[in-house]
Structure 1
């Protein structure tokens, strides 16, 4: 079986609907926890998926794992090894490729559609056209050198980027938003929601409306990307 290393930063921000896709196409999943489990040889796993979390790429002084992960990813990306980043994971990848990561004007939390660029329409993200996806971030990143911008929203110019076939960074969450699992997000991020003045009831209602379509299209997106990997 092929190996997939899943690097997580928060227990409930897991692979979500992506897990069965990876297992069904023949990946053996290995979960490691940031700042707790040692990082393996950066080039060894057939696939690496870096998940989201509530800390920031630039918080290395407070959370040294951010610096460690960025350096680790830089080695892997330099070798063009298949790597998928989601939210914080995409920010770490962008930083490892030399791009700036910084706060955006206003946090994006909730379900909203993407605006795809021509490269986005031409690739796996086309499955997500007109589909409200889950956003949950207060920072964004510039487009890394040599990468293509795939999608945007009014509040975030780069919602996704690709560098060749093997490197994909997504600022949004195509793997999350299904009830009842989404309840863990609402509880775990309750303080952030209260601070932002966002009612969990509204997010729960949107998850009920948009979650099933996001699961179907997100899984289709992932399947297409995996089929196109240059191994």
Structure 2
């Protein structure tokens, strides 16, 4: 994986959406977007395939998901895909952890922001033109370390809400290809979702993704093999 050039927070692009929630447009250069798309294709091919997650009440998510490091199924993490074949998930690569640490450094005025950040799982979500994600909290982790979110492909409307409930107040943010969004601190458990995708807004020549949106979220589970 190529080394990501340092983002310049003085460039005027950094936006704090809420305390601890930061949007950095255009953070990933095109070359690195293509490398991530290639990596995601490899993960989607197995050993645990990309799938539409089935929810406990019988609903099926419109988003397709594949996990690395730990497998997420509602509402827990396991090393094996207990809800789709039982295979062991692919290992979490060191280069992706480095990318997560760099994301925290660039999203914060504190150059030590990435120190000790050790993400051990990533959820890779693919949105086609009709896929959505309802308002939810990322709270299945046993750790409150920040979530690092990377977007590739079509632009989406990302709805970032409050920590108390799914309703207003919220802020709608357009996340385009290459954008970084980090949320931690007081915003770590904010409700968030994706009410719509803007089809055709991605550039297949730049990303290698023909259509749709890839979202890669890095997280720290706080689990070990003895607790997962």
Q: Identify whether the pair has TM-score above 0.5, normalized to the shorter chain.
A: no
TM-score range, shorter chain: under 0.3
TM-score, normalised relative to structure 1: 0.26
Scaled by the length of structure 2, the TM-score of the pair is 0.26
Higher RCO (CA-CA < 8 Å; seq separation 6+): 2
Flag the structure with higher helix content: 1
